[in-house]
Chain A
Amino acid sequence: RKEVEQDPGPFNVPEGATVAFNCTYSNSASQSFFWYRQDCRKEPKLLMSVYSSGNEDGRFTAQLNRASQYISLLIRDSKLSDSATYLCVVNTYNFNKFYFGSGTKLNVKP
């Protein structure tokens, strides 16, 4: 079983739409969680960390559900520039390894 699993998509949405991605993780000892964004043929860049209480950054909201072992990312009012692959990342304190999901591709259409 993979450490982190994501729906690969693609999610094709019109501008202005709200879209949500989920990601599940297998290790209950996982301690820190992140969403990274990766544009085509570029390196991953941090979008936001995910905190237990949930957190929001502008149009982006991240939530963590430890009981069900999943994290989510909600994007409101989608922009063309949001088109990218979104990578879910989980880290476990004892091992300090970043485990990446395979990514969810988002295409925002005019």
Chain B
Amino acid sequence: DAGVTQSPTHLIKTRGQQVTLRCSPKSGHDTVSWYQQALGQGPQFIFQYYEEEERQRGNFPDRFSGHQFPNYSSELNVNALLLGDSALYLCASEAGDSSYNEQFFGPGTRLTVL
């Protein structure tokens, strides 16, 4: 049973470019959340998708957008990249959208913006 998978593992972009990160949830999970983790910090919640809709959003600008597909996989898009967007981007999945659910994390995509 595959856990949460993310691609690519590493990515290098330059300022102003756009990037798309991908996530496949754990089998049986239908809810996907995205987090940004800067070096030395805890993960910061970006948004959550459930039933192909954005259900919750953290304090991130509109440059950060996402999508969930019918098979529950998800994409995170970031436009007009800034140096400060360099971070580890984590995807987490769970079954349903209860606040009591454990979230399972993927290995992350490490984005470097030059």
Contact = CB atoms under 8 A, between A and B. Distances in A.
Interface in B48-104: 48, 55-56, 58, 90, 92, 97-100, 102-104
Nearest to A102: B42
Interface of B: 33, 35, 40-45, 48, 55-56, 58, 90, 92, 97-100, 102-108
B99 A31 contact: yes
Interface of A: 4, 6, 8, 31-32, 34, 42-46, 49, 87, 91-93, 95-103
B41 A43 contact: no
B100 A32 contact: yes
Nearest to B57: A97
A97 B98 CA distance: 10
A103 B44 CA distance: 12
Given A43-B106, A103-B41, 10 more contacts: A4-B42, A32-B100, A42-B107, A87-B42, A87-B43, A95-B56, A96-B55, A97-B45, A97-B48, A97-B56
A102 B40 contact: yes
A98 B45 contact: yes
Nearest to A101: B42
A98 B103 contact: yes
Given A99-B45, A102-B40, A102-B42, A43 B99 contact: no
